[in-house]
Amino acid sequence: MATLRLGDIAPDFTQESSQGPIRFHEWAGDSWVILFSHPADFTPVCTTELGRTAALGGEFARRGVKPIAISVDPVDKHQQWIADINETQNTTVNFPILADADRKVSELYDLIHPNASATATVRSVFFIDPKKTVRATLTYPASTGRNFDELLRVVDSLQLTDSHKVATPADWKDGDDVVIVPSLQDPAELKERFPKGWNAVRPYLRVTPQPNK
């Protein structure tokens, strides 16, 4: 399968998981989804990552996001590992972990990078919107744990763009100024959407307060 690109439809699949068989598109429903792979169960960085995801459950839910993890380990190993994550990370893993022992999903989502490892999945993340469109991706090596606050920040940025036609500048965090998307040029719509106005540093660089604050 060719590499998934932004704007592609996230491939549908049916696969076993720690919460039983999952038909992906049906499971996702009308939610956003963060599908993220980890190299292997019972490894240190992965244990902290899944613990952190569980701890942030309220933050994902508040944004309408369902997390789902995946590795090529089998269901029984996931079950044993979940108990370990809960104990060592002082949390409750209540999202599914796909058991992709036959690599069906790993191949669909290009999660095994043979020049990094012939057997383990890399640390990829797919941000998938309610229309099942891949909106953002990232990939880290096994040795680098992901920043889960950054995943939430990306979701916030994507959702702000959808709802308010703004983009988020470098190092933006929730509450900071944003920029009006270049495609929005209609004066009436600009006035309606941005009643507080904007600072046109350049015609293409229109800075405005975050509209939903």
Report, as residue numbers or ranges, the catalytic residues.
46
CA distances to 5, 34, 47, 132, 194 from 25, rounded to whole Å, are: 18, 13, 27, 7, 36
DSSP 126: E
Own/partner contacts of 164-173, CB < 8 Å, gap of 24 or more, are 164/193, 164/211, 164/212, 165/193, 166/208, 166/210, 166/211
Least Å distance, CB 145 to ligand BEZ, is 7
Total interface residues for ligand BEZ by CB under 6 A: 8
Residue 141 half-sphere exposure, CB side, CA atoms within 13 Å? 5
* Residue position matching structure tokens 């600072």: 199
Binding mask 139-178 for ligand BEZ (x = CB under 6 A): ---xx-----------------------------------
Which is closer to ligand BEZ, CB of 142 or CB of 207?
142
> In terms of CB distance, is 142 or 167 closer to ligand BEZ?
142
Strands (E), the chain: 14-15, 22-23, 32-37, 65-71, 97-99, 123-128, 134-140, 166-167, 178-180, 199-202, 205-208
Cβ nearer to ligand BEZ, comparing 40 with 108? 40
- If one asks whether residue 72 binds ligand BEZ (CB under 6 A), the answer comes out as no
Tell me how far, at minimum, the Cβ of 106 lies from ligand BEZ, in Å. 15
Choice between 68 and 122, CB closer to ligand BEZ = 122
Residues 126-145 within binding reach of ligand BEZ (CB under 6 A): 142-143
| Contacts with ligand BEZ, 9-48, as mask; x by CB under 6 A | ------------------------------xx--xxxx--
Nearer to ligand BEZ, 119 or 199 (CB): 119
19 SS3 class: coil
Task: With CA atoms as reference, report the closest residue to 167 among 211, 137, 116, 120.
Answer: 211
Quote the least distance from Cβ 85 to ligand BEZ, whole Å.
Answer: 12
Q: How far is the CB of 121 from ligand BEZ (least distance, A)?
A: 10
- Distances in Å between the Cα of 116 and the Cα atoms of 120, 136, 142, 146 are 9, 22, 9, 17
**Shortest Å distance, C-beta 128 to ligand BEZ:** 24
Give the residues lining the site for ligand BEZ (CB under 6 A). Answer: 39-40, 43-46, 142-143
